[in-house]
Structure 1
């Protein structure tokens, strides 16, 4: 062993120590505000069902209705490919996986709605509905029929409905605790947020419930629904949504764009309210930058064009939904809303097509990156951040069933544990 070469320096250690001390608060603030992605599975969609229509059979009913729509309007891979323009080599695997998904797990995330989809009801009626929903959710979790993620959307924090929303949330959460505890996939949605103080109020509610019932501090998180202009841009010209994430004190799990409320608040006429309108793109871009690095996930909104009627009408609605979902995926919005069972086939067709068509290139780039990291060189000079994104892309495909672990490992030489490490995910994900 030769002697280690030494190099002359000019700065005393006190300089480095002083800089470290001066930046200690910044280091802590960066760690607190920007912890990075939580490293867990993100559902590809959220299905909204009014509370009065939710039953023990809702999830299976949606899957069966989606399969029936396929049988009637696109009974095989070639028929669906002709409607949606799916490339020939992807048609069979996408169709087969989509049908299997609809039989196995038609809904990944279910939100039982006590807000717009439910509307104002007598207090006694909503009380009973909240208790019934809690009982049904607890039973579904216990017997294994619940989707991976589920919960409720309460009424908002505006004065007119605030007490009603708080009471519904209390009844629902109390019912879950009485039935055995909060399920691991519990998700709550706070709608129509306009001020960060309303988010703070939700935090105080969660804290109070945890103190009353014993879940660990911070156990209850919630999504913030972005459907008002005030939630994007405040009167001082600042991005309000960034303040809302901070006000959540680590409890915000997602930002969900509300297509129609937001469009209407911007004065967009009903005929032109859509996920791809310029006002939607602006709001979602602000949301995206505000959430980057915070661990808060993003979800796009929905289309109100339902695939019902004749085959021609269904096909037209399917083409629109498929295009909008693909557009969202390309813009790194990996989740969206589905409002009708007929949207499930095109949700999964778009998602599966997105991951399957990108699999060969993503796998090749990741394999080349690993070769370069091992000193083998290679034609693609991706950075560690890109390798993280590539592995995250493959993991998302694995999570939803678009690709299989065996084919990813064959193409990359990496098993799921290695992908988790590259992406920054925890070793075990749900």
Structure 2
């Protein structure tokens, strides 16, 4: 008796129009934040200044692990580890991603041409000195009016002309996108520079979530980018204002923001486009340092729990709680995640039966922890029994060993 009854040629004909699923992950290291600095405030020492100011804030307001534990309401044992690792991170790499801001943080100034040329020169110096952050770029003005459009394109032209060859870790932030046509035209403008220019879309209008015909807008934006779109960055305050929320309800934890972020996640999944959460305007300054730190820490932890591993930082003192929150997130889950990952690799069973997709997520989490210095390679190997190449193989869902 035959084992099968289907005609192989008929099956092949029926499935010929299908293709293998293309599931892409974001390329390279994803920074834990993007620091926005108004262009007229950017100097050659900005990166070092942010680190020094963040360290000064830590030393003044939380000089001991006990102080950090009290302010952030974390266990003493965790605070002991956090304090040292945050201090070390701020000393070595305080800024992972920087945007020279020519939009809301900058406004309209008669010196914009000069600032564009000057900051491009600063970036050239960083590149020559090998002190540039892991990722950097500029935020230009939006395309929502002709005046803003013309000014944004001119600034980009002045900056890129002064910069010369664009490095691979350079990215442009395209704000307040409202239509596919804007993305298409922006792509046409970028083509004129004759370089491989990438950009991230700021999702900060209601039209960038649902278009005028009631369809989800982001898939069409990504397609219109023709492979140039590297990220989607949420804009807290423009979006909540666009939803009609009052000022007291314009914050990252509002349900309206959760809806927008969920749409971003679904639309970006499998495209290789990275996600970034927005900012909080509650800054840790003056008499507001402890409140500002608690607010920022809790919002970063909330973002991480929702699968947003990057966010905006607007002030140097926020770097303290950015790294405290990110490091705590990875440290708290390291042992349990490692046990699950080891059980998956060893096929040893256990109380939780994980799928390949979960093993992929667990390995990706350890790689992110390594990237931001929350964990050291020796710690990860001790916990998981895996080295970095093995983790990368699992994150790509390829066989190891």
SS class of match (1:160): helix
Listed as ranges, the matches of 1:123-202 within 5 Å are 125-158=111-144, 159-177=146-164, 181-202=165-186
Q: Cα–Cα, structure 1 residues 7 and 309, in superposed 2: closer, same or farther, change >3 Å?
A: farther
Query: Residues 88-136 of structure 1, C-alpha deviation per residue, up to 9 Å, x if partnerless?
Result: 22111111110011010101000000111111122xx211111111111
Structure 2: distance between partners of 1:206 and 1:361: 46
Query: Residues 134-163 of structure 1, C-alpha deviation per residue, up to 9 Å, x if partnerless?
Result: 111111011011111111001111223111
Q: Cα–Cα, structure 1 residues 147 and 10, in superposed 2: closer, same or farther, change >3 Å?
A: same
SS class of match (2:264): helix
Structure 1: distance between partners of 2:255 and 2:192: 40
Shift of 1:21: 2.1
Match status 1:326 vs 2:312: no
Query: Residues 377-415 of structure 1, C-alpha deviation per residue, up to 9 Å, x if partnerless?
Result: 444311100000000011010000000111111111110
Pairing partner for 1:386 from 358, 376, 397 = 358
Query: Residues 175-229 of structure 1, C-alpha deviation per residue, up to 9 Å, x if partnerless?
Result: 221xxx212210110001000111111111222212xxxx4xxx21100001111
What 5-or-longer segments of structure 1 have no aligned partner? Answer: 1-5
* TM-score of the superposed pair, with normalisation by structure 1: 0.90
What 5-or-longer segments of structure 2 have no aligned partner? Answer: none
Contact 2:65-2:76 at 8 Å conserved across structures: no
Match status 1:402 vs 2:379: no
Provide the aligned C-alpha RMSD in A.
Answer: 1.5
Structure 2: distance between partners of 1:22 and 1:317: 55
Listed as ranges, the matches of 1:159-308 within 5 Å are 159-177=146-164, 181-210=165-194, 215=195, 219-308=196-285
Pairing partner for 1:412 from 384, 394, 400 = 384
Contact 2:356-2:397 at 8 Å conserved across structures: no
Match status 1:421 vs 2:398: no
Pairing partner for 2:333 from 346, 355, 358 = 358
* TM-score of the superposed pair, with normalisation by structure 2: 0.96
SS class of match (2:286): coil
Pairing partner for 1:116 from 96, 104, 112 = 104
Shift of 1:243: 1.5
Structure 2: distance between partners of 1:307 and 1:377: 47
Match status 1:78 vs 2:73: no
Contact 1:52-1:129 at 8 Å conserved across structures: yes
Match status 1:22 vs 2:17: yes
Contact 2:337-2:362 at 8 Å conserved across structures: yes
Structure 2: distance between partners of 1:134 and 1:283: 34
Structure 1: distance between partners of 2:218 and 2:355: 30
Shift of 1:39: 4.1
Match status 1:370 vs 2:357: no
Structure 2: distance between partners of 1:132 and 1:142: 15
Equivalent residues, number: 397
Structure 1: distance between partners of 2:386 and 2:140: 42
Q: Which residue of 2 aligns with 1:3?
A: none
SS class of match (1:332): coil
